[in-house]
Amino acid sequence: MNVGVLASGEGSNLQVLLDTVHGSGGIVVTAVASDQPGARALERAAAAGVPRGVFARDAYPDREARDRAIAAWLGEQGVDLVVLAGYMAILTPPFISAFAGRIINVHPALLPAFPGIRAIEQGIAYGVKVFGVTVHFVDEGVDTGPVILQGAVEPPPDALTDAAAVRALLQPVEHRLLPEAVRLIAAGAVRPDPDHPRRVLVDRG
């Protein structure tokens, strides 16, 4: 299974994919694309010898045109599964339909709570005691697609209002769940529930 990763920033999730699933179990990261030319994620891709694509916002007339270009490039790289790993732009319908059912995202909250940007800060503002991570399929909404895996974290009381502390607690969960989801998909262990459109059946073995 050829994996294409979209990342806008640091790329720590990309790095974990490169270090764990890349080159094992028939999984190859064949492409890394970014909307941010200076993204650290692109350096990580270069260091791993993975082809990179840069799709800067101002190089295209509109978001759809850019998304068509990204989708076409990923197609040329033979990508089967698209992983959003800190990709900060919302994908438009032409991209979603090009890879329908084959796009996953990692989000730093227990969806459906706190979709969109600054999810950890949203949770702190709400006063939650439990934070978490969701890996989910991507549809045309913002963090609305079917859930594949979730993991929860209960920060100590003094960390409950500290976004950096919560982020540090969530990062290992992301770094565990995202590669696991990719492995499970590659193994054919993730499938839609025929009896329920929102549910995903996951066989974790």
User: Site for ligand GRF (CB under 6 A): how many residues?
Assistant: 12
* Interface with ligand GRF, residue 162, by CB under 6 A: no
How far is it, in rounded angstroms, from Cα 5 to Cα 151? Answer: 22
Residue 5 CB partners (closer than 8 Å, separation 6+) = 14, 17, 29, 31, 32, 33, 41, 45, 82, 83, 84, 85
* Interface with ligand GRF, residue 174, by CB under 6 A: yes
* Interface with ligand GRF, residue 53, by CB under 6 A: no
The single residue among 53, 108, 132, 155 that binds ligand GRF, judged by CB under 6 A, is 108
Whole-number minimum distance, CB 61 to ligand GRF, in Å? 27
* Interface with ligand GRF, residue 9, by CB under 6 A: yes
Q: From the CA atom positions of the chain, what is the Rg in Å?
A: 17
How far, in whole angstroms, is CA 65 from its chain's centroid? 22
Q: Which stretch binds ligand GRF (CB under 6 A): 6-14, 23-31, 63-71, 75-83?
A: 6-14
Q: Which stretch binds ligand GRF (CB under 6 A): 10-18, 90-98, 156-164, 186-194?
A: 10-18
The single residue among 17, 28, 85, 110 that binds ligand GRF, judged by CB under 6 A, is 85
Are the C-beta atoms of 110 and 132 separated by less than 8 Å?
yes
DSSP assignment, residue 58?
G
Phi, psi (rounded to 5 degrees) for 104: -125, 160
Q: Is 196 a catalytic residue?
A: no
- Catalytically active residues, by annotation: 107
Site residues (vs ligand GRF, CB under 6 A): 7, 9-13, 85-86, 106-108, 174
